[in-house]
């Protein structure tokens, strides 16, 4: 009898211990992030040399500096048209920002530059800005160069930049592909397979304006000299003009999970299945994204816009930002996943009104940040978020 009671007591104590341990574990993963500061980086205006700032990108350099980039559209808000690429730098986690500088200028061409992805090769510290030229075909017939994928590089974290290099010179398949990288940041694989590989995904509308939008990836195993193309996700039904409800993968951002798998979060351009995000995975360093890995993330509602994804601390959190609405581009919201991007049950509302494209970055072990198009395309704003880990 006594022995039995003792055993029961021991069992109960064990049960309590388990309970306490599991509460402690869940506490470690529960965060209550909040916006700690917001600053406007660019403002669109009817006066001056820039009409509209769009397509914000942010990326932390290995020395801790944050670089923010945007398209500075000279004469109108249209995607096509002449542009500068604007950049600002912060060396104190975004508390203050240096002046806006134009690092690229396409003069007065009818189409011009478009962003684009930013990558850093941590082996060499070489920073790369990949962008396109004449991607909307409007340069056709004007004597301008054919559309192409270009890259400028910086040896000093964005203080100086090279002349643009046409990536089609080393891989002619990139010529006239009408490929739009990202927009956002690209990655370098930190785990096998293909550790060290540089990868940037985007979408292409098919050569010569064919209606064949698909998600493609470029990858380089030689530090960014030769970029090979791989098919990410093809649009369906293949070879036919697409209509609402068809599968048309568009703008994309990728992260690497700690097991070396690449997770892509993709704009669902024609609202296939739902007004929500598409996710897919690659198990071979971005060479292929098996159709069996495709998932429609119904909790990540999306009005058909560019979103952003960030792997924080080797799968501890996968963050996702977008204009979280099925009605229009409003309601910038941060979601996060604690199961490597499988489910996104948690959210933080950042701005209820007009919000467009966004891009996330790591800041430090208790902060992330994002840049986003605010009040439709009036401002590009920087937001720093404290995680309270
Ligand atoms: C890259 O930059 C970081 C930060 O400035 C520095 O610590 C590191 O040594 C650099 N690596 C190389 C290969 O230059
Ligand atoms: C413009 O595009 C059309 C169709 O893609 C092509 O046949 C033509 O050669 C192009 N013209 C120039 C000047 O590139
Ligand atoms: C990349 O493309 C080049 C030719 O364009 C080819 O020689 C090389 O094998 C390709 N590399 C990979 C990893 O596919
Ligand atoms: C890597 O982890 C993800 C998320 O848990 C999983 O879906 C994927 O199958 C894993 N990859 C491999 C190669 O096991
Ligand atoms: C905006 O986001 C909040 C969550 O942050 C959600 O409850 C609300 O329904 C969203 N509004 C619209 C119009 O989608």
* Across 238-247, 353-362, 372-381, least confident range: 238-247
**Å from CA of 143 to ligand 5 middle:** 48
Q: Whose atoms come closest to the Cα of 347: which ligand? A: 5
Tell me which residue has its CA closest to atom 4 in ligand 5.
349
Question: Is pLDDT above 50 for 330?
Answer: yes
The more confidently predicted of residues 21 and 226 is 226
Q: Kindly list the distances between the CA atom of residue 230 and the CA atoms of 115, 128, 202, 388, in Å, as whole numbers in the listed order.
A: 20, 20, 11, 39
How high is the mean pLDDT of the chain?
Answer: 92
* Phi, psi for residue 187 in degrees, rounded to 5: -125, 160
Q: pLDDT tens for residues 155-164?
A: 999 999 999 9
Question: Is pLDDT above 50 for 195?
Answer: yes
What pLDDT, on a 0 to 100 scale, did the predictor assign at position 175? 84
What pLDDT, on a 0 to 100 scale, did the predictor assign at position 139? 73
Q: Kindly list the distances between the CA atom of residue 1 and the CA atoms of 4, 8, 167, 237, in Å, as whole numbers in the listed order.
A: 5, 11, 81, 72
- Are 160 and 92 contacting, i.e. CB atoms less than 8 angstroms apart? no
Question: Is pLDDT above 60 for 143?
Answer: no
Whether pTM > 0.95 for this model: the answer is: no
Largest Cα–Cα separation, the chain: 97
What pLDDT, on a 0 to 100 scale, did the predictor assign at position 229? 94
What pLDDT, on a 0 to 100 scale, did the predictor assign at position 177? 82
What pLDDT, on a 0 to 100 scale, did the predictor assign at position 213? 84
**Å from CA of 137 to ligand 2 middle:** 9
Q: Which of 125, 155, 157, 196 to mutate to test the pocket of ligand 1 (most atoms within 8 A of CB)?
A: 125
Q: pLDDT tens for residues 62-84?
A: 999 999 999 999 999 999 999 99
**Å from CA of 285 to ligand 4 middle:** 13
Residue 135: pLDDT band by 50, 70, 90 thresholds?
A: confident
**Å from CA of 259 to ligand 4 middle:** 6
The more confidently predicted of residues 82 and 4 is 82
- Is ligand 1 within 6 A of the CB of residue 62? yes
- Is ligand 3 within 6 A of the CB of residue 105? no
Residue ranges per structural domain of the chain: 33-386
- Is ligand 3 within 6 A of the CB of residue 91? no
- Is ligand 3 within 6 A of the CB of residue 221? yes
What pLDDT, on a 0 to 100 scale, did the predictor assign at position 375? 98
Select from 3.40.50.720, 3.30.70.100, 3.40.190.10, 2.120.10.10 the CATH code of 33-386: 2.120.10.10
Question: Is 357 annotated as catalytic?
Answer: yes
Q: pLDDT tens for residues 8-26?
A: 666 666 666 665 655 555 5
Residue 209: pLDDT band by 50, 70, 90 thresholds?
A: very low
Q: How far apart are CA 15 and CA 83, in angstroms?
A: 64
Question: Is 79 annotated as catalytic?
Answer: yes
Tell me which residue has its CA closest to atom 11 in ligand 4.
261
Q: pLDDT tens for residues 33-67?
A: 999 999 999 999 988 999 999 999 999 999 999 99
**Å from CA of 177 to ligand 2 middle:** 13
CA 9 to chain centre: 54
Tell me which residue has its CA closest to atom 14 in ligand 3.
228
The more confidently predicted of residues 145 and 373 is 373
* Across 109-113, 347-351, 354-358, 371-375, least confident range: 109-113
The residue from 38, 43, 65, 79 that is catalytic is 79
SS (H, E, C) 261-312: CEEEEEEECCCCCCCEEEEEEECCCCCCCCHHHCEEEEEEECCCCCCEEEEE
Question: Is 53 annotated as catalytic?
Answer: no
Q: Whose atoms come closest to the Cα of 315: which ligand? A: 4
What is the pLDDT averaged over residues 267-288? 97
């Amino acid at each position: 009898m006594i022995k039995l009671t003792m055993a029961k007591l021991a069992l109960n104590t064990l049960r309590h211990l388990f309970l306490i341990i599991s509460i402690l574990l869940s506490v470690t993963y529960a965060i209550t992030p909040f916006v700690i500061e917001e600053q406007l980086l660019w403002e669109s205006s009817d006066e001056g040399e820039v009409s509209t700032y769009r397509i914000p990108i942010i990326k932390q350099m290995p020395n801790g500096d944050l670089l923010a980039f945007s398209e500075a559209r000279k004469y109108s808000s249209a995607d096509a048209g002449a542009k500068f690429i604007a950049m600002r730098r912060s060396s104190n986690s975004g508390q203050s920002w240096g002046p806006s500088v134009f690092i690229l200028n396409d003069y007065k061409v009818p189409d011009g530059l478009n962003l684009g992805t930013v990558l850093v090769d941590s082996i060499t510290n070489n920073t790369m800005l990949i962008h396109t030229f004449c991607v909307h075909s409007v340069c056709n017939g004007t004597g301008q160069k054919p559309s192409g994928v270009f890259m400028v590089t910086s040896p000093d974290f964005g203080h100086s930049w090279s002349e643009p290099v046409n990536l089609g010179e080393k891989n002619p398949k990139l010529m006239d592909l009408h490929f739009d990288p990202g927009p956002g940041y690209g990655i370098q694989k930190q785990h096998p397979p293909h550790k060290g590989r540089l990868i940037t995904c985007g979408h292409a509308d098919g050569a010569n304006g064919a209606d064949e939008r698909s998600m493609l990836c470029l990858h380089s195993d030689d530090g960014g000299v030769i970029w090979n193309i791989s098919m990410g996700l093809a649009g369906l039904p293949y070879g036919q003009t697409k209509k609402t409800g068809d599968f048309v993968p568009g703008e994309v951002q990728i992260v690497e999970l700690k097991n070396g798998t690449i997770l892509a979060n993709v704009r669902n351009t024609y609202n296939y299945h739902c007004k929500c995000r598409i996710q897919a995975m690659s198990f071979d360093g971005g060479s292929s994204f098996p159709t069996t890995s495709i998932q429609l993330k119904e909790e990540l509602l999306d009005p058909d816009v560019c979103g952003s994804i960030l792997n924080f601390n080797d799968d501890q959190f996968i963050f996702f930002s977008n204009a979280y609405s099925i009605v229009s581009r409003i309601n910038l919201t941060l979601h996060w996943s604690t199961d490597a991007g499988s489910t996104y049950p948690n959210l933080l509302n950042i701005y209820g009104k007009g919000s467009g494209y966004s891009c996330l970055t790591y800041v430090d072990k208790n902060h992330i940040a994002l840049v986003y198009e605010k009040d439709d395309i009036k401002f590009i704003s920087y937001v720093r978020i404290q995680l309270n880990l």
